[in-house]
Amino acid sequence: MSPTSGPAQALGDALAAEYAAIWAYGVIGVHLTESARSAARAAEAAHRARRDALILQLSAGGGQVPADRAGYALPYPVTDRASALKLAVEIEERTAGHWRAALPHTTGADRNKALAALTDCALRATRWRRTAGVTPLTVPFPGRQV
């Protein structure tokens, strides 16, 4: 199995978070309309791109590539626009956390990629807060678990 720490483990955790985010956006999107639904679709596509890049990267490294799961447990029922937007913010913050955790385990181009992913997640979380009318729009330390 994979080591308990190190680059492969950190990137494997980021991949697992990306799988979960992609799955969650399937649930989120159906409760949104118009521009919010388009934004959900774009977010899902962005997570798919990160997923694909991670699978390639981990495969090239010869390590174990974690598999996707058939489904994920939602933290609460997602039944309407409000709960969908709440989940969208949380999914982005959670995924940001996994990319943040990868930073110490990476260097050079790989660290820049992890930072770009962390930043993208943080930006989407901010945009979802704006869509939901939540303030403040930002958190002081994106990805840091409190």
Partner 1 sequence: MALGGAAVPLTGCDLFDRDDESRPPDPLEPLAAEATALEARYRAAATAVPALTERLTAIADAHRAHAEELRKVIGRPAPSGSPAASPSAAAADPDTVRTELRQAEQAGRDNAAKACAAAPAERAALLGSIAAARATHLEALK
Pick the closer one to partner 1 by CB: 38 or 107: 107
Candidate list 27, 28, 54, 126; residue touching partner 1; CB under 8 A: 126
CB nearer to partner 1: pick between 33 and 138? 138
* CB closer to partner 1, 51 vs 126: 126
Among 5, 33, 59, 138, binds partner 1 (CB under 8 A): 138
Give the chain as a DSSP string: ---SSSHHHHHHHHHHHHHHHHHHHHHHHTT--HHHHHHHHHHHHHHHHHHHHHHHHHHHTTS--PPP-S----SS---SHHHHHHHHHHHHHHHHHHHHHHGGG--HHHHHHHHHHHHHHHHHHHHHHHHHT-SSS--SSTT---
Closer residue to partner 1 in complex, CB, 84/122:
122
Nearer to partner 1, 78 or 102 (CB): 102
Contact 75, 24 (CB under 8 A): no
Q: From CA 88, how far away is CA 101, in angstroms rounded? A: 20
- Binders of partner 1 in range 38-57 (CB under 8 A): none
Give the shortest CB-69-to-partner 1 separation in angstroms.
27
Q: Which positions from 96 to 125 touch partner 1 by CB under 8 A, shown as an x/- string?
A: x--xxx-xxxx-x--xx-xx--xx-xxx-x
Q: Which two tokens stand for residue 2?
A: 């994979």
Q: Rule CB under 8 A: which residues touch partner 1?
A: 96, 99-101, 103-106, 108, 111-112, 114-115, 118-119, 121-123, 125-127, 130, 135-144
